[in-house]
A and B are shown apart, each in its own frame.
Chain A
Amino acid sequence: MKFENFDSRSKWKISRIMAYSVLAVWAFTTVYPFFWVIINSFRVRGEIRSDSFSIPWPWTDSFTLDNYTTAFERSDIFNAYANSLVISACVTLTVVILAGFAAYGMVRYRFKAQKLLYSVVIASMMFPVFSTIIPVFRMEFAWGIANTGKVPLSLLSVILPQIAGNLSFSIIVLMGFIRSLPVELEESAFLDGCSIFKIYFKIVLPVAKPSFATIAIFTFLWSYNDLFTQMFFLRYRDEHTVTMLLNEISSQAGVNYGLMAAAVVLVVVPVLIVYVCLQKNIIKGMTAGAIKG
């Protein structure tokens, strides 16, 4: 830009610095709370309420692991992790299979009810979970799945509605991706004698792997974090999931704030690790689904 004189260039520089500082301030507000809760989960009792900003280095008196030992003693945290993992893994697996099938069928085939089914998928994203959960509970109660006190059945009673709740988002994301694939590849495989199902598993699935990864991550996180459905269906101690345990610890901890901090860290850390490893897939998938939905 040759018209630029010194004055406007320095103005540009100042505005750049201002942009960076505002962005940095917001970044600070998103990162610092997590940092703060992590350092305080290692702090000895009592000091949190007076001196929560310093770092409790391991060689000082402020450092302790007590909060974590108490968290493990007071609650069966491994059982909760196991329950959460079973629920989220089952939901994710089923959603990936069913949504993949449905998206493939919806994109590649032409049939009469196509438009209608597409609106069915879109509309179901609008239902808040509040509007379906009571009848689902009553239905599952009538089937003898919900509120039985048997752990596997109770987990199943959470898994089923969570699958339904995640399908539409996943179908929409996958449809967008499968539509962009060239159909010629599938046609040539067909000429080589592959059946439609073989084409799906041998060609479409491998090519669409990144978007399958995106919906899998999303479904998993959503299911892991979904307190409302879990609270509705899981009542007994040995059915508890990580999120529910957290909710319970918070109500029992009273003034033991170190314990609360440790509980938060125990839930957040697995997600943090997953996020750092997979953040590109996550952000891409979330916005893709949101804009098309």
Chain B
Amino acid sequence: MFGAGGGTSSYQEIEDTDLIILWGSNAREAHPIFFHHLLQGVRRGARLYAVDPRRTTSAQWADVWLGLDVGSDIALANAIGREIIDAGLVNEAFVQRATTGLAAYAAAVEPYTLERAEGDTGVPASVIRELAHAYARADRAQLCWTLGITEHHNATDNVLALINLSLLTGHVGRYGSGLVPLRGQNNVQGGGDMGALPNKLPGFHDVETDLPARARFEARWGAPLPPKRGWHLSGMFEAMERGELRTLYVLGENPAQSEADQTKAIRLLSGLDHLVVQDIFLTRTGELADVVLPATATWAEAEGTVTSSERRVQRVRRALTPPGQARDDIAILCELARRLGHEFGEPTAQEVWDELRALSPMHGGMSYARLEALGGLRWPCPDESHPGELFLHARLWEADPQRRGPAAPFTPVEFAPPVDALSEDFPIRLTTGRRLDSFNTGVQSGRFSSPLRRPETLNLAPEDADRFGLEEGERVRVCSRRGAVEAPVHLDASLRPGLAFMTLHFPDQVATNVLTIDATDPKSGTAEFKATAIRVETLALAAPAVPLPEKASA
């Protein structure tokens, strides 16, 4: 956001805020300990608004649940923005001083009336109005989101639509007011910070435009760096399809099961000239590989750092001796470099980190000793006397234009419905998400016993099950434009009619990603896992219905 790819706020702020919007996030199940902080805020009097197609276990805690249609987020956000402008609730002082482009934004949202938004989103106009007024009037407000915003073909636009709201109201850059994207994995934030992005060097230096930074890295590493951006994951798959990408080196990722449109993903991976997989398990992707490099589990068998959703860098440490031939990721990479003719030596994790600190100013003050003593540090932390930033963008509130720095731009965005349109043949909207006791493709979470775990199901609104004459536990065929899977039906009262839900946790039982579409956001490379058009077919020779065990997960 405004130049740095991280959430603006720290967890403690949500305990001290006045209003919380949880947009496309089921944090109760996907980020449970963050939700503890959120509930402390609620108990101290913060109002909670949940924006989610499903009435999730998070939404059940909300004062108001806005059950919008999948993918209509921009229609809703723009209507909220328009209402704030229309009602004269814009934070004029902040907008004038710290932002640019309000006029263009106001013009762009002008058509998004409450009435139109009600039609586009399914949320009553009065409720949209209430949220707009509450957000604009709150002293402090936190706007949190997760994959419900980013797993769409227009993910970046969705995020920009939310950022626009924070700029309109001045809910950014102050203690208790901020933008909080919750990260799905323990080092998604750190991966981006370290330059595991197609166009960034560590510390968010753009490889194409930040020439002094590139020169700094080239000098330190004694080698020229490619001056052009690379591909993100979805871009790589497109390049495989065009035949431009023939060799792939996969570290700690299971794209054979985690990519949307799985059938196509496996076909492309299988067609490569050479596939190398480095992982702690022999994953499905590993089974397709020419070479498998067994690695240590970074969180329990190796030293290093990870970075959390509040930009906090924390140490991971070795507690176990790794099994068999598993080797540390750093050792594998250095050995690979050696065989390719480059001597990286045998650096420890701390030596690698210290090199990073020397090159990335925002990490400069984060020595291992300080990370140890302080229980982690939040970036930016430029020097060893710096305590790390609790929240970002305080500069936007500075009176002195010099200290305020560049203004934050409004970016008008337009509503575009999901790519996989509903039709007579595919009338049901399938969305995906997580369950409390499971994680992604189940590679990690499938190996521990959980009394909460239920087999994969097609969750349907009770009204729809009734309409189709389906019973709890009855096996059905779920068809999308790309493929079909079989799964038992589960009646789920958190769903509105027309909405269905599945997880991606049990790909060996039910390969949900056979159904999903690989329509991808051009900027972030994220596929639209959240919106698939499906139909539900009764099996001709249906097995007798077996009721599934009920399990509340509130």
Q: Do A and B come from one complex?
A: no
